[in-house]
Amino acid sequence: MTTYKGTQSVEPGLYLNLKRFKMESFEKAGVLPGAEGETYRRVPIVVMLATAPLLGLAFVMFLPLIGFAMVARLLGTKAAELGARATVEVARVVRPGWAPSMAFLSRFTPAKRDTSADTAVAPDTWTKDVEKKLNETDDHAR
Quick one: which H or E segment has residue 80?
A: helix 45-94
Closest CA to 43 of 58, 23, 27, 59: 23
Backbone angles phi, psi at 15, to 5 degrees: -130, 135
Answer whether residue 117 shows pLDDT above 60.
no
Return mean pLDDT, the chain. 83
Domain locations in the chain as residue ranges: 1-43, 52-94
Is 40 buried (19+), middle (13-18) or exposed (0-12) by CB count in 10 A? buried
pTM beyond 0.75: no
pLDDT at 110 over 70: no
- pLDDT at residue 87, as a whole number: 93
Share of the chain above pLDDT 70, in %: 76
pLDDT at residue 64 is higher than 80: yes
- Are 40 and 21 in contact by the 8 Å Cβ rule? The answer is no
Tell me the mean pLDDT in the region 130-137. 82
- The pLDDT tens digits for 14-44 are 999 988 889 898 999 999 998 888 999 999 9
Cβ neighbours around 32 below 10 Å, total = 19
97 confidence band (pLDDT: 50, 70, 90) = low
Taking the alpha carbons at both ends of the chain, their separation in whole angstroms is 89
Q: What is the spatial distance between Cα 38 and Cα 55, in angstroms, rounded to a whole number?
A: 25
**Is 29 or 97 the better-scoring residue by pLDDT?**
29
The rounded distance, in Å, linking the Cα atoms of 57 and 29 is 33
